[in-house]
Structure 1
């Protein structure tokens, strides 16, 4: 059917499909905020001049919501003033404009929301990223510039010198823009025009790079608020919520499921000192006003170690225990919590640690919600907000389809297409099993499912026991090709006390109580440290060859003929 059109002011207008914005100027200005639910929430919270939004312990600063919004507006305005005319035009047309972010704590938060307020895509960096890694990410997203704190300006200048030789690339130092005079929030206006396209990318989170070069995962703008809303609803976040942020903000869990939801709910985000200090964290817990606690397994292990070595011997140790018991929800992410840590934490706090499972590409598939019974070692039940299944019924690859699934890998249509099956389910590569309504993650299909002596073995099951060993601070299990058995089970470990010694025979004997014989390691290498990606994951595929790919005097092998004669029960 032909369109019914008419000419107005020399412009052909679709009578059925026109919008007022086809005729009026684009509405923007230094005192105009985007018509966006997150900014409406921040504006409403800023009406209370005394409500604290962020405490940044590293710089000894706390900011109210009014101060936060004032700094966001100033930062957004300064960046917009400096952008090239063609970049501003691209933003008005809602074309993809990516801006990198290299910062921490309060300054990160200001710059993050400033980029969103521009309508651009935020690409957050790990504070520890190297310039070559940053250059890779820069090329993937075709970045137009970078917002950086003063600390990282020298590195950002190197990035600008390399990438900016061939592309327009602005560098914005954000530190001088902080702590600006607080604005009168009643003078701020909201955009009169269309809302930003909610299907377009708002954030790009880079994968860990554990299976190859990191890919840029594009998160839809709508899902920033959607994930915040889900967290507020399911976890009871409110104006009284206080979250100590240990998780990296360049990672989905730290950003999308901790920082943004807490701020949208009107709570307070506390950024830690930077380098982890267990004594300081125990003192923070002792204050008694925390209700939620989210960390990585290493933090729980170190907190328990400090309890055993120091706090348990103090006459006032019951004060710490009483404050710990007031926390209603403990969560962990990035890797499974060692079994011994789970048991000890439950004994000490009276509450279980909920293992989170999710990914930048697909959100949280399974959940352990506050108040629900937690099955040790499980990742909970199905998340009703996401559709998922296992490829082979009660066991298999986790397949996900739902609103939180990413929109694309930036500038990589082939990888995007290959990541989905014929029904539109994202192929996570993770293997899980279902027991009743509860799910257990067994590992990555490519690296965590080992085939040894005719058995299919979960590397993660072995790692849980390995990391509960008295002498082991951290360890991984990988499969090393073997002509007779298919794969040897190889353990690489970092010792708690570098002066200790751990032999393969000792390790096998100690693990025999909790693991079947065919799951016991047959190779061992003790190392000073295990390499990690910027998201704190250990890239097994990339370091397996380095650890076990060639002869090394530190590699100890078990006599496989002797192992054959051992009981396999």
Structure 2
């Protein structure tokens, strides 16, 4: 029996999920997921790693389908509810999906693929209560495929085994001290490890409650907080920024009520993108919490984290999680000295099995001695790792210098007229790359000349942008992460 299912039997009467103004017990989840598993099996003994894709909103239905797929021996392939049909068809074709589960609200979107004779299409609302025997699932079997676009080429399906997922979950539960009395709010997309693993699976493994808010709205989030049930919150930097912006618009008495509520939370985490120090400091002034920053990606789950207990260093991601090995390596494979930048490389049970049907890309993503190459550049200093950026988009090679776009962004955000910014490198014959910045301003206009003069006091000349573009907002993906390649197109 899978660990997460086994644990659920310890908490049968406890509430596991709250969604759509209803609450569901672990017993209800076990019953529903068993019924879905039996239906998927359709008389077979085991799905034997058939791919089952599903397009449903976050909530109890999502969780019961995910568990049902696993309990039937299938590979769960969650689809993004915001993706267009072409992106969905790509996943269906790439995985050679045998079953597609969908909610009624997505029927019109999926209409062109619902008549595919090679795919069994099931409406999520049609599952009935049927029970039967289920296969025994070993931990080395493939469990999930999550698609990550990366920076170049076609999207790749990241394959995780049950062992990979359990390793990721158990490590976070120990490190962040999850308990069954915890109650977390999930506002994140459920085709991404942040929402699936860090929030939902960690809560359900612990016997805790995971409450879903299908669509983010700052007022709704604060209203739920004020119910004083939720004590853990995890989000991306963009969400914290939006919460801060909304909080600023409230009357003083409402601001104080929210601050008093937040102060009693057990844990608040930020991840999936670099957290601006300015956002961290303002959130602390509101909540009395220093957001816990951590580092991970689809292929490895979480690998590095600031401590749950102990000092958290702004702008840093902390130390390796228990059971995860980390090293910093140079381009030539040589291990970097302490204090020198290099690529983060990871080894451990948390690391994914393969890219689906891409043996060449899988092999290239590992070193000869089997360390996964993340492509993220970091430095280890004063006992903690600090991300300098993504090798392909955040490290700008300007006239022989390797410049961190994240460092420049952090300085720019301190300028009084800048609300947000995104720094990129643009190809240049003379310099290799020149530094360009897209900025969002909090005033009617801004003097670029005055900004440049201010930057001269903060940065060496080779780190000062030479091209500027003002936009109303930065291009972001469904996780709220700034898309640097879209910024480049603006120039």
Whether these two folds match at TM > 0.5 is: yes
Matched residue, 2:90: 136
Q: 1:390 aligns with which of 328, 333, 345?
A: 328
Aligned to 2:123: 173
Q: Which residue of 2 aligns with 1:55?
A: 18
Q: Does 2:311 correspond to 1:373?
A: yes
Shift of 1:471: 4.5
Residues of 1 paired with 2:446 and 2:173: CA distance?
Answer: 46
**Whole-angstrom CA distance in 2 between matches of 1:466 and 1:60:** 42
CA distance in 2, matches of 1:519, 1:432: 18
Cα distance per residue 1:324-348 (max 9 Å; x no partner): 1112322111111112111112222
Tell me if the contact between 1:52 and 1:268 (Cα under 8 Å) persists in the aligned partners.
yes
RMSD: 2.4
**Aligned mate of 1:246, from 187, 191, 197:** 187
Contact 2:426 / 2:433 at 8 angstroms: preserved in 1? yes
Assess if the C-alpha contact under 8 Å between 1:339 and 1:465 holds in 2.
no
Question: Does the aligned pair in 2 maintain the 1:129–1:534 contact within 8 Å?
Answer: no
TM-score by length of 2: 0.91
Distance in 2, matches of 1:160 and 1:495, equals 46
> Which one of 63, 68, 75 corresponds to residue 114 of structure 1?
68
After the TM superposition, which residues 7-406 of structure 1 pair with which residues of structure 2 at under 5 Å, given as runs? 35-46=1-12, 48=13, 51-56=14-19, 59-81=20-42, 88=44, 91=46, 94=48, 96-106=49-59, 107-161=61-115, 164=116, 168-177=118-127, 195-274=136-215, 276-310=216-250, 313-315=251-253, 317-391=255-329, 392-394=336-338, 395-406=341-352
Calculate the TM-score normalised by the size of structure 1: 0.79
Rg (Cα) greater in structure: 1
SS in 2 for 1:68: helix
| Structure 1 Cα separation of the partners of residues 289 and 95 of structure 2 | 42
CA pair 454-354 structure 1, distance change in 2 beyond 3 A: same
Instruction: State the 1:155 CA deviation.
Output: 2.1
Aligned length: 482
- In 1, Cα distance between equivalents of 2:270 and 2:433: 31
**CA 1:481–1:288: 2 relative to 1, 3 Å:** same
Kindly state the Cα deviation for residue 261 of structure 1 after the two structures are TM-superposed: 1.2
Q: Deviations over 1:338-397 (max 9, x none)?
A: 121111122222221122211111222211131221111000012231111000233201
Query: 1:70, 1:471 → 2: CA distance?
Result: 55
Unaligned segments of structure 1, at least 5 residues:
1-34, 549-569
C-alpha contact (below 8 Å) 2:54/2:101 kept by paired residues: yes
The separation in 2 between residues aligned to 1:526 and 1:98, in whole angstroms, is: 44
Say if 1:316 and 1:363 are closer, same or farther in 2 by CA, change over 3 A. Answer: closer
Matched position secondary structure for 1:218: strand
Residues in 2 aligned to 1:320 and 1:219: alpha-carbon distance in whole angstroms: 39
Equivalent residue, structure 2, for 1:24: none
User: How far apart, in 2, do the equivalents of 1:544 and 1:280 lie?
Assistant: 31
Which residues of structure 2 form unaligned runs of 5+?
330-335
2:458 counterpart of 1:481: no
Distance 2:467 2:161 in 1: 44
Query: Residues 408-423 of structure 1 correspond to what in structure 2 (within 5 A)?
Result: 408-423=354-369
**Contact 2:159–2:356 (Cα < 8 Å) also in 1:** yes
Kindly state the Cα deviation for residue 36 of structure 1 after the two structures are TM-superposed: 1.9
Distance 1:119 1:514 in 2: 57
How far apart are residue 477 of structure 1 and its match? 1.0
Report SS of the residue matched to 1:315. helix
Cα deviation code 1:228-267 (max 9, x no counterpart): 2222222221221101002222101111111011011111
Q: Within 2, Cα distance between the matches of 1:468 and 1:103?
A: 41
Q: Which moved more, 1:135-144 or 1:395-404?
A: 135-144
Do the aligned partners of 1:75 and 1:114 also contact (CA within 8 Å) in 2? yes
- Given that 2:33 and 2:64 are in contact with CA atoms closer than 8 Å, whether structure 1 keeps it comes out as yes
Partner of 1:560: none
Secondary structure at 1:100 match in 2: strand
Does structure 1 retain, via aligned residues, the 8 Å contact 2:16–2:26? yes
Q: Label 1:446 to 1:317 Cα distance change in 2 as closer, same or farther (>3 A).
A: closer
